[in-house]
Structure 1
Amino acid sequence: MADNLVGKSQQDGIPGVYGGNDVNGNGVVGETNGSGHGVFGQSHTGNGVVGRGWAFGARGVVGIFDDVEQSPPSSSHFVVAASAGVWGATANVAAVDTDPQLKLKTAAGVVGEVSLPGHGFGYGVLGLGHKDEGVVGWSEEGVGGSFIAFKGPGITAKSQERGQIRLVPREVAFGADPQGNPRPKLPKFAESGEMTMVTKDGKCSLWLCVKSWRAGGGVVPQTDARWAEVKLGAAFNGETPS
């Protein structure tokens, strides 16, 4: 890398640093081999760092954590490349630590945190949607989202016109209980508190996991999860237009 440069502008409308395009297609490259920041943006009245992508599938800002030098992760989970204002990805080869107090893994593609102690309150992550969801969580092998609170509610859901929470019914195979009543075939690997809504012949039923599965070993057999149906009252038609 060339000698360190400091970009500072004393005039409105004149950038402190302007990156055009190098042979690799990079406008600005920030690199550090010490404890500093590769790129640091600070502003008293505007935005510290602004990134903008012009084409579909492009990202305004790309942040990647890698504990090995390799090419950035691709969008292999998406059939079409995902467009994003901010794209955060992590690719860990070494084992990920778990915070002893929060009991959470200490690696994430994007982390949002309210600094404490502070002078007010704010959100760790705020998602605003117009016609789609404000926040979507998706997982290939785990749960789509996990919410933990020490003192307040784990989830606060509000809606002025629709249901506060929606469970998307899923089609499952059905068997029968010892009395011959229809019973859905639900997962044997589940944790107590999980809830699912299933559908059969256009009718839905709601089920709650009341006992977690436990792995076996040696002479101890595996214990499968146990489910109980949540009994519902009589159905009736909605009246409001929303």
Structure 2
Amino acid sequence: MADNLVGKSQQDGIAGVYGGNDVNGNGVVGETNGRGHGVFGQSATGHGVVGRAWAFGKLGVWGFFTDSEETPPESSHFVVSASAGVKGTTANEAAVGTDPQLNLKTVSGVVGEVTLPGPGFGYGVLGLGHNDEGVVGWSEKAAGGSFVGLKGPGITAKSESRGQIRLVPREVAFGADAQGNPHPELPKFAEAGELAMVTASGTCSLWLCVKSWRAGGGVVPQTDARWAEVKLGASFSGETG
């Protein structure tokens, strides 16, 4: 890289740094081999950093972490490239560490944090939706979301006119136990506390995992998850709009 440059504007409406296109199509490149930041934006009255994309499938800001020199590939989960104001990507090759206090993995695509200690309050991540959900979590092999409240509820769900939480029923096959009692065919790999609403022939039922599965090894067999039906009262028609 060339010698370090500092961009500072002394006049409103004039950018401190303006980046056009280099031969690789990059407007601004920030790079550091030391302890600083590749790009750092700070503003007393405006925005520290603003990124804007004009075309669908492009990103206003793309921040990625990688422990190699290769640029992470675009996500293959979407058939059509996703448009986003901000996208965070991780592509680390080394093993991911776990925080000893929070018991959480230390690598994330995006981290939102309320700095502590401090006198104010705020949200680690805030998602606002209009016709769709404010926040969507999707996972290929694990839960779509995990919430922990050390001194409060893991999830606070509020709705002024609809249900607070929605379980999307899924169609399953039904079998029977040794005594001939019917039951849905539910996963044997599940953790205690999981709820499953299933439907068969247009009728829904609710089931709770009451015992987690345990992996076997050696002469110890695997223990499958145990499920129990949540008994419901009589149904009735809704009345409010």
> TM-score normalised to the size of structure 2?
0.98
CA distance in 2, matches of 1:128, 1:181: 45
CA deviation string 1:10-50 (max 9, x = no partner) = 00000000001111000000000100000000000000000
Contact 2:72–2:90 (CA under 8 A) maintained in structure 1: no
Counterpart of 1:191? Answer: 191
Range with greater deviation from structure 2 (157-166 or 68-77) = 68-77
State whether structure 2 residue 46 is matched by structure 1 residue 46. Answer: yes
CA deviation string 1:137-167 (max 9, x = no partner) = 0001111000011100000000000000000
Map 1:139-178 to 2 at 5 A: 139-178=139-178
Letter in 1 for 2:196: T
Counterpart of 2:214? Answer: 214
Counterpart of 2:71? Answer: 71
C-alpha RMSD of the superposition: 0.8
CA distance in 1, matches of 2:205, 2:120: 44
Structure 2: gaps of 5 or more residues: none
Counterpart of 1:112? Answer: 112
Secondary structure (helix, strand or coil) at the match of 2:158 reads coil
CA distance in 2, matches of 1:170, 1:145: 19
Counterpart of 2:240? Answer: 240
Counterpart of 1:201? Answer: 201
Contact 1:88–1:110 (CA under 8 A) maintained in structure 2: yes
CA distance in 2, matches of 1:94, 1:107: 11
Contact 2:193–2:209 (CA under 8 A) maintained in structure 1: yes
Structure 1: gaps of 5 or more residues: none
Runs of 4+ in 1 over 6 A off after TM superposition: none
CA distance in 2, matches of 1:141, 1:150: 26
CA deviation string 1:77-111 (max 9, x = no partner) = 10110000000000111010000010000000000
Contact 2:61–2:86 (CA under 8 A) maintained in structure 1: yes
CA distance in 1, matches of 2:202, 2:76: 35
CA distance in 1, matches of 2:156, 2:207: 22
Secondary structure (helix, strand or coil) at the match of 2:27 reads coil
User: Alpha-carbon deviation of 1:172?
Assistant: 1.2
Counterpart of 2:136? Answer: 136
Secondary structure (helix, strand or coil) at the match of 1:209 reads strand
Letter in 1 for 2:157: A
Secondary structure (helix, strand or coil) at the match of 2:204 reads strand
Contact 1:209–1:228 (CA under 8 A) maintained in structure 2: yes
Contact 1:73–1:89 (CA under 8 A) maintained in structure 2: no
CA distance in 1, matches of 2:107, 2:90: 7
CA distance in 2, matches of 1:93, 1:190: 28
CA distance in 1, matches of 2:179, 2:224: 21
User: Alpha-carbon deviation of 1:119?
Assistant: 1.6
Contact 2:173–2:184 (CA under 8 A) maintained in structure 1: yes
CA deviation string 1:213-235 (max 9, x = no partner) = 00111111110000000000000
User: Alpha-carbon deviation of 1:176?
Assistant: 1.4
> TM-score normalised to the size of structure 1?
0.98
